[in-house]
Amino acid sequence: MACECSQASAQTEAERATLRIALALNATMFVVGMAAGLWAQSSGLMADALDMLADASAYALALLAVRRGTAFKRNAARWSGSLLLVLGGGIVLDVVRRGLLGSEPLGLAMMAFSAISLVVNVTVLRMLDPFRHGEVHLRATWIFTRMDVLANLGVFASGLLVWLTGWRAADLVVGLVIGLYVAKEAIEILKEARQQACTTKTTTLR
């Protein structure tokens, strides 16, 4: 019994250490990304930065959920999913605003920041790989980071298009795609949390 408790404690501490590193990296990249997005007038970069903020929030909630009960973990996943849904809507609104008012995105800046973000997110994704099939609040962090990697690739591609062709709409297109994808992932997290809640209730009734 003592051995099992020790192993569980070690696993919990490993989870906390991983989440702390992921939180620090994403919080830093959010600040840098928002500054870069505003300077470069890029919806794609701002969407990517907001994605980092959503990740940082998810990691913070997951940290709080460690050593907590199942209900708290489900609620942490719900909060993560809800935040992601709101941010996805905000990204789409920003794309519409820039489409109506116009913008001059800087392709090289988009490529540079998205490349740095990609390195960070691939590193974090590898760290979070053990959580891929874990509890719902931990799986949510893996889903967030997987989404970020795809978003980084999209922003890099759109930055390349803007730089090579001057086609500014590429930035709006990738911003819209990221926004919609963010919303889709949010719904996936919320569904998974709800399904786990239903499963728990069924088990309790039995």
Q: Which domains does the chain have, with CATH numbers?
A: 2-205 (1.20.1510.10)
Asked if 43 contacts 172 with a C-beta cutoff of 8 angstroms, the reply is: yes
Instruction: For residue range 59-97, list pLDDT tens digits in order.
Output: 887 787 766 666 776 777 788 788 878 888 888 888 888
Average pLDDT, whole number, for the chain? 80
pTM of this prediction exceeds 0.75: no
Encoding tokens for residue 61? 């909630």
pLDDT one-digit tens code per residue, 91-145: 888 888 888 887 788 899 899 999 999 999 999 999 888 877 767 667 777 887 8
